[in-house]
Amino acid sequence: MGEPNYISPVGLERIRREFEWLQKGERPRIVREVAWAASLGDRSENAEYIYGKKRLREIDSRIRFLTKRLESAEVVDPHRQKNRDQVFFGATVTYADRDGTEKTVTIVGIDEADLDQGQVSWVSPIARALMKAHEGDVV
């Protein structure tokens, strides 16, 4: 932490959807299941009750995390970037590594990073090396 929480508009919307789903969909459903399981009697050996309580703790933890991330989010819209000659947050960059293998990555916020999708966090070493570079630069 200590770094700004930059995020794209798409990433912010994804986090908001997860937050809403947890708060308005998943959590109320689990609360109903726990209440039903509790009504069955002995809670000490009631697997549905024990699992439901555990799942509620996980959901509440995730909701707290997402709340903090949403509060600290600084939305950066890559489409508003005027300087298109330089690598910046939101840019999609194709680079060649030392052995000539080309890779394409998009520089995104910490919460959006997904290497399988070619999305790297702006604080990752590769993104830091590419930031502010121009086409043809060696980084």
Pick the CATH number of 5-75 from 1.20.120.80, 1.10.730.10, 1.10.287.180, 3.90.180.10: 1.10.287.180
- Are both 5-75 and 78-130 of the same fold? no
Indicate the pTM of the whole model: 0.81
Structure confidence at residue 15 (pLDDT): 96
DSSP the chain: --S-EEE-HHHHHHHHHHHHHIIIIIHHHHHHHHHHHHTTS-STT-HHHHHHHHHHHHHHHHHHHHHHHHHHEEE--GGG---TTB--TT-EEEEE-TT--EEEEEEE-GGG-BGGGTEEETTSHHHHHHTT-BTT---
Q: Where are the domains of the chain?
A: 5-75, 78-130
CATH topology of domain 78-130: Chitinase A; domain 3 (3.10.50)
Q: How confident is the model at residue 3 (pLDDT cuts 50, 70, 90)?
A: confident
Average of pLDDT values for 107-117? 93
